[in-house]
Amino acid sequence: MTFLIVLIGWFFSLCLHEFSHALVAYLGGDTSVREKGYLTFNPLKYTHPLYSLLLPLLFLLLGGIGLPGGAVYIETWRLRNSRWVSAVSLAGPVSNLVLGLILAVILRLSPVTGGGIWPGLAFLALLQITAALLNLIPLPPFDGYGAIEPYLNREVRLRMAETRGALVWIVFLALWYVPFINDLFWKSVFLIANGLGIPLNLAGLGLQLFQFWRR
């Protein structure tokens, strides 16, 4: 049950993340997102074989980290100004934080126990925090870089574009194999989760139940 709750819930949050990018882009002037079908919750519109399926599933199975992996192609030249470009990038991580908060409120108001759907919902809430923090990293191709990119000079943007493919793997490897970065990431996740009221013990149980093959 926990495995299905987390998997289905994460699929929904993926659609919400990408829909949020598209909605803000539409409000900011990029009407092409409507013709592309992004203003829907149809996951097929956001699917990329590597970034939408393989990497997010790998991160979930191995490390319990939420990695939004959809693909929404925004025509940024249509947006009214640089602030809208930043807002489009930030819309995705903000949607993860909002969903995490909603799940935290549900958990707080419900008769939570160690069984049933609650461990899965708690772990799903924690995944939203990991997704938001990961996406706010100010390096390409993460949303945090997209938020600051309009304010960088042309030379810096060109250099970042050249290293775009390598940087994402460097970040992932650092999260796994550099203790300081791993500790800093998870301490930040737990700090935000505590602030939102996500029960960490229940989320930990949800992780254990989700990774049933490790028991």
Quick one: the chain helix, strand, coil %, rounded to 5? Answer: 75, 0, 25
Is position 18 annotated as part of the catalytic site?
yes
- The alpha carbon dihedral of 79, 80, 82, 83 has a sign of negative
Catalytic residue chosen out of the listed positions 18, 75, 149, 162: 18
Phi, psi of 71 (to 5 degrees): -135, 105
Phi-psi region of 29 (alpha: psi -120 to 50; beta: other; left: phi over 0): left
Contact between residue 74 and residue 80 where contact means Cβ atoms under 8 Å apart:
no
Residues annotated catalytic, as ranges: 18
